[in-house]
Structure 1
Amino acid sequence: MARAVRQLQPRLVEKPWGREALPPLFGPTGGTPIGEIWFEDEASLSLLVKYIFTSERLSIQVHPDDAAARASGLPRGKEEIWYILDCEPGATLGIGLKRPTTPQDFRLAALDGSIEDMIDWKAVQPGDCYFIPAGTVHAIGAGIVLAEIQQNADITYRLYDYGRPRELHLDQGLSVSLLEPYRRPVIHAPIGTKETTLTPDGAPFTLTLCHWDIGAMTLPATDQLWFTPLDGHGTINGANWSKGECWLLDGQCLIEALAPTSALLATSTRI
């Protein structure tokens, strides 16, 4: 029998760059701009699964690694991965810089707004996936719906926010930023792709995109697995699941697909 089978509860998070209308399966927002849906549990978990919905660019920001976070009294740093579910024509992700720069020049650019031109804005399409290591200067562009899996740490250093009246953290951010281009190639794996590993070696979690036809699914042998179905529906130990949800379970679960299914499977490799 499975030791842990439970549906994680969605929490809608208001953001100034969010959307007042989400895809129908997530329900109404009541006119509030919702930027993120977090899937949470009563217990403290090592990973956090989110959906992100953008109508404007997010702040240009950076996250610390485990060592830097712990030096500041936090339990862990924050590395994350983005899987693009939908996007408008011309949508972009800002990942890394166009060319290396110095902390002094980067600080001036953050203060005068020219940082926007320093960022490497990459055109994206559904099925694109980027792993964002700690220290990578980044921003999610407008017109994007994506799934994000991250270390469960609420630690973001905003470097620039397009004049929005929110707190910036330039000193902390500069202390952990890699002021250089991002050199990892995009992984393109549209929904329906057979099993594909999306995370690199050494990441604090593994993420796999899987596709199954109707019938029983074979899960990794692990004590804790985040199951995020992107398409399809079925049962887990008799309980119904469908796309738009996130479940925490283990590899001993009996999970069946009642329709062709694609899902993200995440497991933590660090506490």
Structure 2
Amino acid sequence: MNIVLIIAIVALIAYLFLRKKAKPEVAAAEAQPANYKELLETHIYYYRKLDDTAKSRFEQYVNNFLAETHIESVGTEINDIDRVMVASSAVIPVFGFGEWRYKNLTNVIVYPDTFDNEFQFEGGSRNIMGMVGSGYMNGQMLLSRAALIKGFSKNNGKENTGIHEFVHLLDKSDGVTDGVPENLIAHEYAMPWLQMMHSEMRRIEAGKSDINPYALTNEAEFLAVASEYFFEKPEQLESKHPELYKQLSRMFGQDPASPENIIT
């Protein structure tokens, strides 16, 4: 590792540490889009499907997230659309829970595109689109701006990097990122979830599933990949994987394949 890279990493660590000390009110003043309702209507399909009452609640949760979480960029400029997409990525997985606070998040750092394990966004071996920090990066989330935008585009398929990373954060909220979010799933459903997850992983490995093979990485990645599918293509997931859909619906307190969506 050359001296320039070492200095850059030390500077990044110091910067993030100082950001953690910043007052939330300052971050809020920097982050709040003035026209976020219009941006939600234009760019967030999940929001457009909600009725007026649910839309109002979604707007409030987006507002709360932006008031409490600092969103910044490295190597690129971000705009209000990007901030609304980040906030929506955070709100969508927890919309069935009422007012949820991500206590294990302080900053979201947006990179222009993919990056590597040393947080470099230039060079040949860059394949990371999002990351939930650990160790000295605890409380930080890194996102590729290009992947974030693609996730909310009309032709994004079953993928949404923002949702993927926030599901990791939810999974981590019980202290360990293991694909079994104990804060979201009742104890009696944990074993059926694990059994179903491993059964579906075997189907993916055998080429008999349309779930992204990246889900084979481990249980945590299975949960995040399946959750992208659940929120992006709920009708398709329910049709092709009814048991998986049922368990994710129970986990997130949502039924996005139905007009009502939220399970009461």
One fold, TM greater than 0.5? no
Q: Which has the higher contact order (CA 8 A, sep 6+)?
A: 1
Query: Could you say which structure has the higher helix fraction?
Result: 2
Query: Could you say which structure has the higher strand fraction?
Result: 1
